[in-house]
Amino acid sequence: MTNHTCYVCKKTFTNAIYWYDSLHDTKHDKRIIRPFCGPPCANKYREISDENNYPSRKPFPNGPEWQIIQDINYIDYDSD
């Protein structure tokens, strides 16, 4: 199982349920996953980030980098 580092509090954890995925908005031109250790950090991220100010990415781009991700616990991903 992948070890994640919470984007907000920097805690290391496994079994991620919440994450940001750059598939959904046009801020990033590459795929970025930002895991959150739980609801408090996921909520805090919504407050501190400006991602919602960017238009949605529709239609979704093609290519292996942009496949729908339903579970980040068993994949390698890029974060920042």
Quick check: 17 binds Zn ion (CB under 5 A)?
no
Tokens 């079994």 correspond to: 15
**Which tokens belong to 11?**
């805690």
Stretch in the footprint of Zn ion (CB under 5 A) among 2-10, 14-22, 47-55, 58-66: 2-10
Quick check: 72 binds Zn ion (CB under 5 A)?
no
Quick check: 37 binds Zn ion (CB under 5 A)?
yes
Residues 32-62, buried b or exposed e (16+ Cβ, 10 A)?
bbbbbbeeebbeebeeeeeeeeeeeeeeeee
Quick check: 69 binds Zn ion (CB under 5 A)?
no
- Minimum CB–partner distance for residue 7 and Zn ion (Å): 7
